[in-house]
Structure 1
Amino acid sequence: MKLTRRTALAGTFVAVASSGAVRRARAETPVIKVGVLTDLSGPYRDINGPNGIACAKQAAAEFMAANPGIRVEVIGADHQNKPDVGTSILRGWYDNDGVDMVTDLTNSAVALACSAISAEKDRVCMVTAGGSSALTGASCNANTVHWTYDSWNLAHVTGTAVTKQGGASWFFVTPNYAYGKAIQADATKAVELAGGKVLGSATYPFPETTDFSAMLLQAQSTGAKVVAFGVGGTDFVNLMKQSHEFGLNKTAQLVGMTGFITDILGMGPAIAQGTRLTENFYWDMNDRTRDWTRRVRPLLTQGAVPNSMQAGNYAATLHFLKAVKELGPEKAKGAGRLTVATMKRMPTEDDCFGKGSIRIDGRKIHPSYLFQVKQADAIRQPGAVYDLVATTGPEDAFRPLSEGGCKLVKA
């Protein structure tokens, strides 16, 4: 069945029934509801936002086309990067709207709060955009899966590879929230284990900071070979632009510790060229990623290509729905721990991340890739901006199970 923009975004896709009995059976089947809680108005709108919702709806539409007996509805809302706003919305979804799974959760503070509520209400929480590694560490629970990336993953892959390739001294610029603190701490360990040194760091108030000049001058004064920005979205774009104004790009390797292709395209090739960053999905990586991008791109903002978090929304939603099918909608609905346990038993596979698995601590495992942004004059196709520098296999890309401190892991 060919999916149009209208059907893919409709949220509920009901196949035509061939008999009254089938129609009655479908009417009695409970609707599985997925809530995408994201940033629709702030600095992370472009790195997930409406396009992240569209990717989750694409997963639901494709699943229902293949499984016409199961009805799925996808809804979205704006958490405004405020944990109190996000938790209020989520409680309403769980208590009044019959939502069975929440995903996205851009912003680690929001993700951690919503993970705890999902455990309390026995619903499924699939974090695809919040990055704190505490979600599978001290704050882990049996209702949460952490899908796309985390602070340990990006810090370890980027910090280790860049240091070993000559980036012996580092300076960090990070926001003053949970994820920023986590990724700087994780990256510091990775850099030092690889033989490098951290010469200094600067922390700024989020989201009210727009002028980063003092921090960038401080970084420049240290002579650090690598200046790393522990933030994505609008702040990363502005940091990169202001770095070029001060000529920092000429004296140091600029690294996006949490950068995404949407950020790279947003700042433009002249600013982005030469930047290094880790992502766990790239739309132009192989035939499967290109085919998926072809399917979903008509639903995205004109000209956009999907990033790894948006791909995570698709893949996590699809795997959740596979577990719903395995259990049956009636049994799965409202049974978060049972559904997550089922997801952990099932191997993961989708067009974005390929084959993988979910560990007992809730960590989704797959390879990670260190990319370098192509020089502006080497870009031959819109959005095809990365050169692959290094690949880290799934067994090394994420924190060892024994080191996270998750209570679900038996000693």
Structure 2
Amino acid sequence: MRKNIIASLAFLLAGSTAALADASDGKIKIGILNDQSGVYADFGGKSSYEAAKMAVEDFGGKVLDVPVEVVTADHQNKPDIASNIARQWYDTEQVDAIMELTTSSVALAVQAISKEKKKIDIVTGAATTELTGKQCSPYGFHWAYDTHSLAVGTGGALVKQGGDSWFFLTADYAFGYSLEENTANFVKENGGTVVGSVRHPLASTDFSSFLLQAQSSGAKVIGLANAGLDTSNAIKQASEFGIVQGGQRLAALLFTLAEVHGLGLEAAQGLTLTEGFYWNRDDESRAFAKRFFERTGKMPNMIHTGTYSAVLQYLKAVQKAGTDETEAVSKALHEMPVDDVFGRGGTVAANGRMIHDMYLLQVKKPADSKEPWDYFDVLDTIPGKDAYLDPAKSGCDLVK
């Protein structure tokens, strides 16, 4: 009997040790790092944190028999602040993966740190294709959208509709440059021309001089290569200058449900935009959106739902790998299909790009909106293979 008891205790201790080895620190910890007080606060912000917690709860709150914890912080759109938070999270707070990462300059900085520390990062809030291009990482993933998919969607639609001359009003940092470049290339490839561009600081409040240059260019389309409050403010001030009334069109190259809600249908009606998710698409998306609304008081956009998907897929990958060890989880993330309310039929390419369908949307007239947050008509579904850059052409050295 004594031998049996000793053997049983040894077995239990061995099992306990194995569990600790499978999930380091006895828990899984995910960090949501984004802008929670600035120009992109509605774009992702604290609502992305809620989406991440929803994913953990829907998964059951545990993986590998250990609890899952979600922490969050505001990087204030500053790469140095984001880098300090990321290092602290990795070095002293046992964070296993960082996600969301609104603002491309921030996302690039944190992805570089994650690569150095051999940690997983999944970007849902930033747009630059450099994340899966020359600055790709074996542990870095880009989930919700990117500048190439936005250019194919909104840029492609307007060129087809006769908008073949463009002037760009561009946010003066990595995201803006990437969005302008991708859209300009697409316009030119389809027979259009770019007559000029001007750059503005992030979080501008006065767009008058930039809009006057765009207006005087005579371009048929003014491409707003910015996001969040910058885009909303530019659209409001363009109305004051009578730009649309004068025959020019505004292309909101990164504009989501959150910004349309803030701007209002009266001002936003007729805008064409591209998102990776629309809450009123079908029964599944409506059911998810209702739960999200109960927690946040708003309907989700592609960043919120993309964050939910990224957290859920990460936990599935940890479960599949049987460990939270980075190499094994990264391998699982690359191998597993994505099938949830956001990424239906999604796949992850060798460069970390999650390839999924995008949606070309047009903002409804106020009279056509049937209920609160019913803002879009779905004009077209853009297959993932068309929306995203061929990984072999991305410049990522991980692609064979």
Give 1:17's aligned residue: none
- The yes-or-no answer on 1:226 pairing with 2:221 is yes
Shift of 1:156: 2.3
Contact 2:51–2:307 under 8 Å retained in 1:
yes
**Alignment CA distance shift 1:365-1:287 (3 Å):** same
Equivalent-residue separation in structure 1 for 2:62 and 2:318 (angstroms):
14
Contact 2:62–2:68 under 8 Å retained in 1:
no
Which of 314, 321, 327 is equivalent to 2:308?
314
- Listed as ranges, the matches of 1:5-404 within 5 Å are 30-64=26-60, 69-207=65-203, 209-250=204-245, 251-300=247-296, 302=297, 304-328=298-322, 331-332=323-324, 335-404=325-394
Equivalent-residue separation in structure 2 for 1:235 and 1:212 (angstroms):
9
**Alignment CA distance shift 1:65-1:31 (3 Å):** closer
Equivalent-residue separation in structure 1 for 2:256 and 2:66 (angstroms):
34
Contact 2:171–2:201 under 8 Å retained in 1:
yes
Unaligned runs of at least 5 residues, structure 1? 1-20
2:270 aligned partner, one-letter code: G
Q: TM-score, normalised on structure 1?
A: 0.90
Contact 2:101–2:125 under 8 Å retained in 1:
yes
Shift of 1:25: 6.5
Alignment identity in percent? Answer: 39
Give 1:15's aligned residue: none
RMSD of aligned Cα (Å) = 1.7
Contact 2:28–2:95 under 8 Å retained in 1:
yes
1:169 aligned partner, one-letter code: S
Local SS of the residue matching 1:277: strand
Shift of 1:159: 1.4
Aligned length: 381
Can you list the C-alpha shifts for 1:131-157, whole angstroms capped at 9, x where unaligned? 110000000010000000111111122
Q: TM-score, normalised on structure 2?
A: 0.92
Shift of 1:166: 1.5
Bigger radius of gyration, 1 or 2?
2
Equivalent-residue separation in structure 1 for 2:210 and 2:148 (angstroms):
24
Contact 1:152–1:398 under 8 Å retained in 2:
yes
Which of 380, 391, 408 is equivalent to 2:398?
408
Shift of 1:299: 1.3
Shift of 1:390: 2.1
Shift of 1:68: 8.7
Equivalent-residue separation in structure 1 for 2:276 and 2:287 (angstroms):
17
